[in-house]
Amino acid sequence: MQIRTRLTVRFSLIVTIILVVFSNSIFFISSKDREDRFFSVIKSRALSEGKLFSKDVKEVDTNLLRILDKSRISPFSSVILLAIYDDTGKEVYRFPNELAAPILSKDTIIKILANKELRFQQNKIQTAWEYYAGKTDHYFIYVSGFDQTGYDKLYFLAWVIFFCCTVSILVTFITAYFYPIHLLAPINYIIDLVEEITDSNLDLRLPVGKSKDEIDRLATKFNDMLQRLEESFEMKRDFISNASHELRTPLGVMMVQIEVAMMSERTPEEYKKTLGSLLEDIKNLRVMMNGLLELTEANMQPGSLKLKSIRIDEMLWLAKSDLQNQHPDYKVIENYSNIPEDSSKLVIQGNDLLRTSFVNIMNNSCKYSEDKTVIVNLESKNNEIIISFSDKGIGIPPAEMKNIIRPFYRGSNAKSFPGNGLGLALTQKIIELHKGEVRIDSRVNEYTTVTVILPIETK
Ligand code: ADP
């Protein structure tokens, strides 16, 4: 069911229920009020009849009372039958004469005396027994009547309520059906636009209004998501074209070397030299392939990463020995004076990939500085482990700072150094998987400090 239909049905249903309950209450209260009023009317008529009949009013005898009663009959008269009984229960007066009055039993007399009156209603005829106690004589008066005017008013009220309710429900239904068109228009617009979005036009954006309502927030969040998707698509595109370029170039160079070597007969020394150069190229290719494989591994979902307890100072030590095995001339100066005595503050839940990331950062620092030295600082505070790697090397041009973590991106001043531009991308990914952060601070030809911040997960 569409939101619009659902809204219409629910809204109309709620309003209908409210109206039905409300109008029923009004009708019920009015009906009860009419009943009470009419009982009061027939009671006062009964008592005045009793008074006129009693010896308290000597001027009125039975004949005059009958004339008076007759004069009170009109098309709107509500009293149907009046009867007066003496103390013993014997009928002493009845109006009109043609109608039979009920017999007053002993039981009824007891009930009337107990409550001073008796009331009941049957088929809209309301009946009351009243007791009139005069100065010298007492009477039981029976009176029954039909509240024509009261019922007319009540039916009129019922019609008014019914008409108003029907019109209100109809208006509610129509409003509920048409109002959401205006409300849902932006959502329909979003749906149309979303249908148009494919991977080739991820630059499309939804218009965002100024009202900051739910729809605007949805559009904003959707645009943010498109922005991230666009960036990630761009990165993937760049990555593939860079990767193929980086693989094709050394392969091309190797092919040329082989073709040149095969052009004519060569001396064993020349073949050896060519093979040596080919070996060097293959080693570089292998380093790059390993980097790509590790980057793929680091691109995994964080959930699928195998974690274990890792002491960061030990991991740094292992990274240092890896680095110095590859490059014995590189120097690593460790400054661990700020580490806490409680060694648990140096333990995180991590993966062995962290070692690769530390080797990459140390390698860069040594590679890009004349003294081939990196200073490693380690400290732990506020549930975070902070590791900084500083060097006094070539630095990074400020304009390139945001690009250097992109795969295959190499700084303009770093092209003369060996490398493939994968190290920092891989490092960034690995630290991200550990919910950490990489910050880089640098000044060209002065220094570069790469800081890694890793959270310690407290239980
Ligand atoms: P690579 O070192 O193979 O070029 P990386 O991904 O490790 O690739 O680094 C990307 C770029 O970041 C480098 O090309 C270089 O320009 C810059 N960079 C990284 N670390 C340093 C550093 N310590 N000093 C100067 N530049 C650096």
Q: Where are the domains of the chain?
A: 3-154, 214-296, 304-455
Q: How far apart are CA 278 and CA 254, in angstroms?
A: 6
How far CA 274 is from CA of 96, 239, 262, in Å, comes to 141, 31, 11
Print burial letters for 307-317: b (CB count within 10 Å at least 16), e (below 16): eeebebbebbb
Which CATH number applies to 3-154? 3.30.450.20
Query: The domain 304-455 belongs to what CATH superfamily?
Result: Histidine kinase-like ATPase, C-terminal domain (3.30.565.10)
The H-or-E segment that residue 304 falls in is none
Which ligand 1 atom minimizes the distance to the CA of 413? 16
Q: How far is the centre of ligand 1, averaged over its atoms, from the C-alpha of 401 (Å)?
A: 10
Q: How far is the centre of ligand 1, averaged over its atoms, from the C-alpha of 404 (Å)?
A: 7
Q: Which of 420, 452, 422 is nearest to 435 (CA)?
A: 452
Q: How far apart are CA 26 and CA 18, in angstroms?
A: 12
Which CATH number applies to 214-296? 1.10.287
Residue whose CA lies nearest to ligand 1 atom number 23: 365
**What angle, rounded to 10 degrees, do the helices at 148-196 and 214-263 form?**
20
Q: How far is the centre of ligand 1, averaged over its atoms, from the C-alpha of 300 (Å)?
A: 24
- Spell out the per-residue pLDDT of the chain, length 459, in tens: 677 888 888 989 999 999 999 999 999 999 999 999 999 999 998 998 899 998 888 787 888 888 888 877 655 567 789 999 998 889 999 988 888 889 998 899 999 989 888 999 988 899 999 999 888 888 999 999 999 999 999 999 999 999 999 999 999 999 888 887 777 777 888 888 888 888 788 888 888 877 778 888 888 888 899 898 888 888 777 777 777 877 888 899 899 999 999 998 889 999 999 999 999 889 888 877 887 787 777 666 666 677 889 999 999 999 999 999 889 999 999 998 888 888 888 999 888 889 889 999 999 999 999 999 999 999 998 889 999 999 999 999 999 999 998 888 899 999 999 988 888 988 998 898 888 999 999 999 999 999 999 998 755
Q: Which of 406, 414, 404 is nearest to 440 (CA)?
A: 404
Which ligand 1 atom minimizes the distance to the CA of 391? 23
Q: How far apart are CA 353 and CA 174, in angstroms?
A: 64
Give residue for tokens 């004589």. Answer: 137
Which ligand 1 atom minimizes the distance to the CA of 393? 24
Beta strands of 305-391 (E only): which ranges?
A: 308-311, 331-335, 347-350, 373-381, 384-391
The per-residue pLDDT for 230 is 87
Beta strands of 225-372 (E only): which ranges?
A: 308-311, 331-335, 347-350
Q: Which of 55, 51, 53 is nearest to 66 (CA)?
A: 53
46: phi then psi, degrees, rounded to nearest 5: -65, -45
pTM for this predicted structure: 0.55
Spatial contact of 89 and 104, defined as CB atoms under 8 Å apart = yes
The per-residue pLDDT for 285 is 86
Q: How far apart are CA 368 and CA 420, in angstroms?
A: 14
Q: Which of 150, 121, 145, 123 is nearest to 46 (CA)?
A: 145
Q: How far apart are CA 393 and CA 401, in angstroms?
A: 15
Query: Which tokens go with 19?
Result: 């109206």
Q: How far is the centre of ligand 1, averaged over its atoms, from the C-alpha of 371 (Å)?
A: 16
The per-residue pLDDT for 301 is 61
Q: pLDDT (tens digit, 9 = 90+) per residue, 66-94?
A: 888 887 765 556 778 999 999 888 999 99
Residue whose CA lies nearest to ligand 1 atom number 15: 411
Choose one of 239, 292, 361, 364 to mutate for the ligand 1 pocket test, by most ligand atoms within 8 angstroms of C-beta.
Answer: 364
Q: How far apart are CA 230 and CA 224, in angstroms?
A: 10
Q: How far is the centre of ligand 1, averaged over its atoms, from the C-alpha of 127 (Å)?
A: 106
Q: Which of 409, 432, 433, 404 is nearest to 420 (CA)?
A: 409
Q: How far is the centre of ligand 1, averaged over its atoms, from the C-alpha of 328 (Å)?
A: 20
Residues in contact with ligand 1 by the CB-under-6-Å rule are: 360, 364-365, 368, 391, 393-396, 404, 409-411, 414, 419-425, 448
For 55, residues 6+ apart whose C-beta sits below 8 A from its C-beta are 134, 135, 136, 137
Residue whose CA lies nearest to ligand 1 atom number 12: 404
Residue whose CA lies nearest to ligand 1 atom number 14: 410
Q: How far is the centre of ligand 1, averaged over its atoms, from the C-alpha of 449 (Å)?
A: 12
